[in-house]
Amino acid sequence: MRMDWRDIPSLSSLRAFESAARLGGYSAAARELNVTHAAVAQHVRGLESHLGEKLLQRDKKGMALTATGRSLADSLAEGFGMIVSGVRAVTDEKTGRALRISTTPTFAEVWLMPKLGAFWSEHPHISVQVQPSMGLSNMRADDIDLAIRFGHGSWPGVDVVPLLMSPFTVVCSPDYTPEDRLEDIEDTSGFYWLFSEFSSEQYAWGQRIGIDFHEEGYRELASNALTLSAVRSGHGVSIQSRVLVEDDIASGRMKVLYEGDPENIGYYIVTAAGVLSPNIRLFRNWLIKNAEPVATLEELASGWDDVEPD
């Protein structure tokens, strides 16, 4: 599309308005842009005159956006953010800045870190910093290049790519119960259900196995790593994404009482919308390549000669 700059107000006025809208006033915008309060106000008035629309107005709390102002502010935030991403993609490659990767502590420990050595061997010139975190980062504000998050993948304002859609499993230690199938256990009220305090998927997964955890009760631990340790030690039962307990199952430290379809709940790669640097694209593609597909339920069932499919 051909850009006609005659139809666009000055970038200085757009930048002043975006800053005032984001920070909630002229004074804060002036400090951020290192100009005077009067200069910001003049830019905003000039922008309003150019557009023939009121963008900011005073209220009891200070400055408030009009509906038109909110729409323009959102568009400018996205547009300037893409400009920042594009410039950073160029400068980061020149300076060799480390990639900043954010992911949950458990996923970092169980899945990412054991594989990361291979990435460093293949790409020794690219430095990677892993920052364990439970929250979905504000990618640009927190200076995060790529995040790996668990959920449905429907987060606004970011680009999302599926990484691992793993079945969910009900797991416990082999000594916790003599039964090997959840459906063979008539009463689970005596079970200690263990979850991380940051997890929410257990409610949806509980409905899938016919358990309401609001009624049956459960115990929350400070992290999923502590939850997995407690399960291994025989202190309770948990519902986990299978990819996190694969090694425990293979080694016999845990057994699977039930396995269900994830239904689009899984791990996703999250990046800021806009231009990605070559190194971020390379790391994202490496993650996808190394996410070996977990066997489907049908494939798993084909190996269960002693179990009738549901």
DSSP per residue over 104-157, as a string?
A: -HHHIIIIIHHHHHHHHHH-TT--EEEEE-SS---TTTTT-SEEEEEE-S--TT
Question: Which SS3 state, helix, strand or coil, does residue 171 take?
Answer: strand
Domain boundary among 40, 62, 92: 92
Does 172 lie in the same domain as 161? no
Return the pLDDT at 302.
Answer: 34
Together in a domain, 172 and 159: no
Q: Domain check: are 212 and 147 in the same one? A: no
Per-residue model confidence (pLDDT) at position 249:
95
Tell me what the pLDDT averaged over the chain comes to.
81
Both 148 and 282 in one domain: the answer is yes
Q: What CATH number does the domain containing 61 carry?
A: 1.10.10.10
Tokens of 203: 């409610």
Distance (Å, whole) CA 169 – CA 241: 6
pTM: 0.59
Tell me which H or E stretch contains 241. Answer: strand 238-241
- 153 plus 281 within the same structural domain: yes
| Among 59, 52, 63, CA closest to 16 | 63
Tens of pLDDT, residue by residue over 95-123, are 567 899 998 888 888 889 989 999 999 99
The pLDDT value given to residue 282: 93
The verdict on residue 151 lying in a domain is: yes
Task: Indicate the angle between helix axes 224-232 and 242-251, nearest 10 degrees.
Answer: 30
Q: Are residues 175 and 258 in the same domain?
A: yes
Domain with 11, as residue range(s), is 5-92
Contact between 203 and 213 under an 8 Å Cβ cutoff? The reply is: yes
pLDDT in the model for residue 289? 92
Task: Give domain status of residue 148, yes or no.
Answer: yes
Query: Does a structural domain hold residue 45?
Result: yes
In a domain, 132, yes or no: yes
> In this predicted structure, what is the pLDDT of residue 2?
65
Length of the chain, in residues: 310
In terms of domains, do 193 and 57 share one? no
Measured distance CA(154)–CA(268) in Å, rounded: 10
What pLDDT shows up at residue 296? 38
* CA distance from start to end of the chain: 55
Query: What's the confidence (pLDDT) of residue 303?
Result: 32
Task: Tell me which of 68, 92, 116 is where a domain ends.
Answer: 92
Give the pLDDT of residue 217. Answer: 74
Q: 307 lies in a domain?
A: no
Do residues 178 and 244 share a domain?
Answer: yes
Q: Please report the pLDDT score of residue 206 as a whole number.
A: 79
pLDDT the model gives residue 89: 62
Structurally, how many domains does the chain consist of? 3
Kindly give the parts of the chain with pLDDT less than 50. Answer: 94, 294-310
- Same domain? For 178 and 220 the reply is yes
Residue with token string 């993609």: 89
- Are 43 and 190 contained in the same domain? no
Query: What is the CATH number for 226?
Result: 3.40.190.10
pLDDT at 261: 83
Instruction: Please tell me whether residue 42 adopts helix, strand or coil conformation.
Output: helix
Q: Flag whether 309 is in a domain.
A: no
And the tokens for 150?
């668990």
Residues paired with residue 298 on neighbouring β-strands, in sequence order? none
CB within 8 Å of 228: residues ≥ 6 apart? 106, 238, 240, 244, 245, 248
Q: Is 84 exposed, middle or buried (0-12, 13-18, 19+ CB in 10 A)?
A: middle
Q: How far is CA 294 from CA 31, 119, 168, 241, 262, in A?
A: 52, 21, 11, 11, 11
pLDDT of residue 248: 95
Q: How far apart are CA 56 and CA 20, in angstroms?
A: 9
What is the pLDDT at residue 224?
85
User: Is residue 306 in some structural domain?
Assistant: no
Same-domain status, 142 and 202: no
Q: Evaluate whether residue 252 is within a structural domain.
A: yes
Is the same domain home to 24 and 79? yes
User: Which of 47, 65, 92 lies at the terminal end of a domain, its last residue?
Assistant: 92
